[in-house]
Amino acid sequence: MKLCNLILMSKGGVGKSFISWVLAQYGSAKAYNMYCADTDPGNPTFAGYSALQVQYIDIANDEMQIDRARFDDLVDDIAQHSGFSVIDTGSTTFFPLMSYVTEARTFDTLKDEGVRVVIHVPIVGGSAVKETLAALEKVLECTNVEVIIWLNGNFGVVELNGKPVIETQLYKKFESRILGIVNVKTRAADTFGTDFATLLGNKLTFDEIGSHKFKLAQKQRFVEVRRELFEQLDEILP
């Protein structure tokens, strides 16, 4: 199996690194051969989780354009890896990266090497819904690969003009290429929110919960979220 999970989004702070964190642990839980990389030049959060053995690869040059040589090396690494890859990218390089992979036909090249590429895109509610949907549209229009949408409910109800994402024209137009939707539920800020802020702030994984002095109720909340997200991925990524 060669499966590359690429996380893309033009807006920062909407859960991109969280998706990478979840996917890396999901692949590890399945005992897949893992390769993880963080290419965010400004805020390499994913690379901070030592237990996930994430490589940091800065694919941007001084002008925040794609350093083609370094990105081409990354593509070679992905193509040569037999297993489950998770590649986090930066919001600041979203548009240059989309331009380059289109020009270089990167995903066609990986397909020819037997790599299945799946792009993961977070969509949030509130004031950022239009921007995140615009990024999703860019991904769908500029690529020909499968896409998984992550609905992040922590910013409010994820709707556009009162309609859920699955009822938008964008979703209907590209439905055949959308593998599925992962719902990240809105949860109580004073319990789940605080607990996960501590977990992620300390750069811990689910398997490292025991190394921190979490209470039993906190541990149970982590177990609940892990189970919920992993079960959704089981349905979408057979």
CB under 8 Å to 217, separation ≥6 — which residues?
191
pLDDT digits (tens, 9 = 90+) for 44-62: 999 999 999 999 999 999 8
**Among 12, 35, 1, 235, residue whose Cα is nearest residue 115:** 1
Give the dihedral of Cα atoms 10, 15, 205, 198; nearest 10 deg.
130
Question: Looking at 23-27, 32-36, 166-170, which range is the least confident one?
Answer: 166-170
Tokens of 82: 């037999």
Is the CATH number 3.40.50.300 carried by domain 3-236? yes
What span, in angstroms and rounded, lies between the C-alpha atoms of 35 and 209? 23
Degrees, nearest 5: CA angle 23-177-103: 85
pTM passes above 0.85 = yes
pLDDT digits (tens, 9 = 90+) for 85-136: 999 999 999 999 999 999 999 999 999 999 999 999 999 988 889 999 999 9
Domains of the chain by residue range: 3-236
> What does the pLDDT read at residue 53?
97
Tokens of 151: 């609905």
